[in-house]
Structure 1
């Protein structure tokens, strides 16, 4: 089906969907490794797990350290990340054009991420998005986070749309699980971060998109209950 209008509302994941934040995170892991007398890791070793969260990144950075020991390093990781925030990572190619196309066509957009809200909120002004993003829901904004659908439903309610008039875009399976449970059409962002064994075609997203620039075209978006 070819769509002739943009969606009424779109919600995005953040890391791996809007922002290529892997360079910030590898800087953090390598600072932690240096402090422990270890050599730096190449970006390629960490990049696939960025969308999996702090614990997964620590696991990739220190695979020989017990998970119980790494758990005590999570706050150190977050504190160092706050210091590196926005210094290395940038929006993916085509993201700014995509957001501009949505805004020009009256689409409201927001962010639902599992990143702690205070970190996501600090990042927005560095990107120039603090007044453009209509809603920001972080991983600790509510008692639950993705793949639970509540953060998506909360965000839709906050911007005044019903779930099936809103599309969710994410690069991780839990994004698509959350969207399906929320009753939202979904877009799988194939440009994001995935483990080698991940099969995004098995996630049952409504459409799979290779690059943000494709979403500047109305026909790329899945159907919604009503469209803007």
Structure 2
């Protein structure tokens, strides 16, 4: 294993509830209506910029600035990565395994979270999302090309069904991260990921065994 590619929301940290809360706070006053968490989640795929463009196109500029303020201020909801994640990053780095972040989150939201968590320096490459929709196939391909590694020499770690589908499209083995409260393990299992872990400590042991064998 030469590199590990990580998703962010729901994989490195429990940031999905935070994202939903910040989106609702920024969208609802401008849209003049309330949204359920499920309605917000149904818009996921594009970055936050794309979600705001779709829901409040006439108020986009104000909406995105409001979102970034709320997202920053509400980050106390999730002040640190999942317990054990930093140990995984440290262990992989100690063995010179390259680490990349491939997320659907927008660049500015990603920057806020990495700064809050204090983990930005771990990642040699960071690929963020697009307002037009998911670009993980392109992003994963970019990482492989820039580092000159084969798909089978990497793993992608993500918490959503689309992570499994898109990783498989590129040929990268995928670890289904099912340790967040927002994840449905059965939904992930149905897509037959290469591995699935419901606890970070299980994933950590898997990484240790994979890198020492």
Shorter-chain TM range is 0.7 to 0.9
| Count of matched residue positions in the alignment of Structure 1 and Structure 2 | 205
Normalization by structure 1: what TM-score? Answer: 0.71
Q: Identify the match of residue 125 of structure 1 among 105, 110, 115.
A: 115
Q: Identify the match of residue 184 of structure 1 among 149, 162, 172.
A: 172
Q: Deviations over 1:29-75 (max 9, x none)?
A: 4534773787897xxx46x939935799xx9xxxxxxx965555665
TM-superposed CA distance for 1:195, in Å, is 6.2
Which residue pairs with 1:9 in the alignment? Answer: 3
Quickly say closer, same or farther: Cα 1:33–1:115, change in 2 above 3 A. closer
Aligned equivalents of 2:91 and 2:15: distance in 1?
23
The answer on whether the counterparts of 2:106 and 2:129 sit within 8 Å (CA) in structure 1 is yes
Which residue pairs with 2:77 in the alignment? Answer: 88
**Unpaired runs of 5+ in structure 2?**
none
Q: Please say if 1:145 is aligned against 2:137.
A: no
Q: Please say if 1:202 is aligned against 2:179.
A: no
Which residue pairs with 2:91 in the alignment? Answer: 101
Quickly say closer, same or farther: Cα 1:163–1:204, change in 2 above 3 A. same
Q: Deviations over 1:140-170 (max 9, x none)?
A: 39x8734x52210101222332221110011
Instruction: Give the match's secondary structure for 1:188.
Output: strand
More helix by share: 2
Aligned equivalents of 1:210 and 1:183: distance in 2?
23
The answer on whether the counterparts of 2:102 and 2:127 sit within 8 Å (CA) in structure 1 is yes
**Unpaired runs of 5+ in structure 1?**
1-6, 60-66
TM-superposed CA distance for 1:176, in Å, is 0.8
TM-superposed CA distance for 1:200, in Å, is 1.0
TM-superposed CA distance for 1:125, in Å, is 2.5
Once the two structures are superposed, the pairs formed by residues 154-165 of structure 1 within 5 Å of their partners are 154-165=142-153
Quickly say closer, same or farther: Cα 1:53–1:88, change in 2 above 3 A. farther
What stretches of structure 1 move > 4 A for 4+ residues in a row? 36-41, 53-56, 67-77
Which residue pairs with 1:167 in the alignment? Answer: 155
Instruction: Give the match's secondary structure for 2:77.
Output: coil
Q: Root-mean-square deviation (CA), in Å?
A: 3.8
Aligned equivalents of 2:29 and 2:43: distance in 1?
24
